[in-house]
Amino acid sequence: MPRKFERKTRELLGTAVATEAGRGGEIAAGAAGGLTVGSDRLFGTSAGFPHVVELDLDRVIRNPDQPRRHFDEAELRSLASSIERHGLQNPILVRPLSKGDYLLIGGERRVRAHEILGRKTVFAILTSGDPDEIALIDNVQRVDLNAVEYAAALGRLIEKHGYTHDELAAVVGRDRTDVTKLLAILTLPPEIRDEYLGQFAHVSRSVMIEIAAAPAELRAALWARAKEGASVKAVRQAKRDHAQGVQGENAPAATEAGPHEAARTIRASVKRIMRDVAVVREQRRHLNADDREHLQALRAEIDAILQADGP
């Protein structure tokens, strides 16, 4: 038998075996009795082999920690129409629970679309990974979470596992700097976050990051501009204008000294920061949680300065 045909046959039969087991209730029984998710004894497939089962929708338990909080009705109807026309192209992700139930890990939009269509069952892939991590990654890969949802999901992972920003970045496949900037959104006043979730989730993630990095006294004004449609470039310019105004009020002597004196002051400050950073690097084994938090804040400030002249 040709290798390509043999491999395809194994895939189809493996899926069929898992599907029939799910229909017969054996998967559910095995879940409570120690089922090894992704292990196929018939063909000796690896633990990464996906097991597809057909589940009753009423046995799928919604995840209370689902990262997505907002579900656009028009998008759900569009998804339901697509499923009705083309079938479910991507099964939902579930984790076996006791008594034959399953925790929904990824695919709540697909479950809701099935409910719109009046479907009683749904195809699912069994997984044994961390529910919060998989749910976050699944949502990001399919339809982007809005900025506040994404930041809140990252915050829950840190609270649950005690991840550092570097560790969390590796988990979600993002740059560490991006993770730090996204988490800063959680420092925005509750009224801004609530208003964003309720009416202005279309404001871009980049704009929300810029507002979160702004001084506290400027955030409300920037948010007002963002609601009017201000671009990232406009928000950054407003931040620069604010910074220059504050400098003009508090340090008139420096303004009068001219650009050459300002350049010398900056060079001296940068060299001093580099010397201090070198000391911290040499003594990093003594860093505590507060020290690390202050360094993260310093890094975010430096990133904001470097990006100020960007597009």
User: In terms of pLDDT, which residue wins out, 247 or 195?
Assistant: 195
| Mean pLDDT across 272-298 | 80
Torsion from C-alpha of 7, 12, 14, 15, nearest 10 degrees: 140
3-state secondary structure (DSSP) of residue 94: strand
Q: In the chain, count H helices and then E strands.
A: 15, 5
CATH class (in words) of the domain with range 3-141: alpha beta
Say if strands 121-126 and 92-96 run parallel, antiparallel, or are unpaired: parallel
Burial 47-85 (b: 16+ CB within 10 A, else e): eebbbbbebeeebbeebeebbbeeeeeeebeebbeebee
Place of tokens 């989730």: 201
pLDDT, mean of residues 65-70 = 66
According to the model, what pLDDT value does residue 274 have?
79
Q: Do the beta carbons of residue 26 and residue 20 sit within 8 Å?
A: no
Return the number of other C-beta atoms located less than 10 Å from residue 131's C-beta: 20
Asked if 92 contacts 110 with a C-beta cutoff of 8 angstroms, the reply is: yes
92-96, 220-224, 262-266, 269-273: range with highest mean pLDDT: 220-224
For residue range 216-225, list pLDDT tens digits in order: 999 999 999 9
Most confident of 5-14, 120-129, 153-162, 204-213: 204-213
Q: Where in the chain is the domain with CATH 3.90.1530.10?
A: 3-141
Domain 146-307 falls under CATH 1.10.10.2830: yes
How far apart are alpha carbons 104 and 59 in whole angstroms?
Answer: 10
CATH 1.10.10.2830 location in the chain: 146-307
Of residues 207 and 260, the one with the higher pLDDT is 207
